[in-house]
Amino acid sequence: MHLPRLACLALAAALGTPFPAALAGQAPLFARENLVAWCIVPFDSVKRGPDARAAMVRGLGLTRVAYDWRAEHVPQFEEEIFAYRKHGLEFLAFWGVHEEAFRLFAKHQLRPQIWMTAPSPVGTLPREEQIRQAVARLLPVVERTRQAGCPLGIYNHGSWGGEPENLVAVCEYLRRHHDACHVGIVYNQHHGHAHVDRFAAALGAMQPYLLCLNLNGLTREGDQRGLKIQPLGQGELDLPLLRIIAASGYRGPIGIIGHTQDDVELRLRDNLDGLDWLVPQLTGAPAGPRPAPRVPLPPTPVARKKAAAK
């Protein structure tokens, strides 16, 4: 049976799950202290270690990190925890599942969100069977995160599991049939180019489950035009989409991403500059000059054609 909303919120609070309804008194939505640095470990051309990375994030005025990693970073897991504590950072989220990480979370009494790609069912199936198959594939992680006291955020990354409506359906099924109130959604705009025309409706449907919303500069069909990852303020849709977010009532964490093989500090600074340019416009302030990115933008298709013709 589907747990009542108050019961879910009580369980979420016990798990430290930042569902929007439990966020009274949090920082303003786009304030530095509500922002989360994401995709900053394997996507950093400088290849910072844990202490240098934590110092960099804190130097930008940020206080939260979602930690992504590769096999080479596993020996540094505990050092990363120490570095965040030293620099006053919140270990908000951890990408994927790793037993060494769970051991360290228990040792250091941490309960970060666990982010993982939402599964996509195999084959052509009726919708209800698609949902059941996706849930069945998630259940081991649902139970492992429940045991660890960690929220689980399923993450849009294309295909069936990348569609907002399917993420919502999976969360609803898990709550109804498995009392899994600790499961929510992490939504990434850089994987959401196909959703821009229905973004308001999609955000409204996801909002009761939304653990984090990760921003990106968005240009229509940018993922098909070499513009999948752009700094905030450089996309043609950034302001209208930010208006939708601001008006939605969502007050949970907001992620800003690195995700390019550049100096990740420069990429984060470009995103912060863009956000600082966009946010005043939400209340009618004049735009002023658009910030110039420190990291060069990818050439547009027209520019590539011109360069090829030379």
If DSSP codes are grouped into helix, strand and coil, which group holds residue 164? Answer: helix
9: pLDDT confidence band, cut at 50, 70 and 90?
low
If DSSP codes are grouped into helix, strand and coil, which group holds residue 232? Answer: coil
Is 0.85 topped by the overall pTM?
yes
Q: Give pLDDT tens digits for 138-150.
A: 999 999 999 999 9
13: pLDDT confidence band, cut at 50, 70 and 90?
low
19: pLDDT confidence band, cut at 50, 70 and 90?
low
Checking if the pLDDT of 34 tops 60, the result is yes
Specify the number of domains making up the chain.
1
Which residues constitute the domain of residue 27?
A: 5-309
218: pLDDT confidence band, cut at 50, 70 and 90?
very high
Name the percent of the chain lying above pLDDT 70: 87
**Contact assessment for residue 193 and residue 218, using Cβ atoms and an 8 Å cutoff:** yes
Checking if the pLDDT of 231 tops 60, the result is yes
Name the region of 245 (left: φ>0; alpha: ψ -120 to 50; beta: rest): alpha
Phi, then psi, of 284 in degrees rounded to 5? 95, 5
Cite the DSSP H helix spans in 91-226: 99-107, 127-148, 164-178, 199-206
pLDDT given at position 11: 53
CATH code, domain with 161: 3.20.20.150
Q: Give pLDDT tens digits for 153-179.
A: 999 999 999 999 999 999 999 999 999
Q: Give pLDDT tens digits for 250-296.
A: 999 999 999 998 999 999 999 999 999 999 999 999 999 999 999 88
Please state, in angstroms and rounded to a whole number, the distance separating the CA atoms of residues 307 and 305: 5
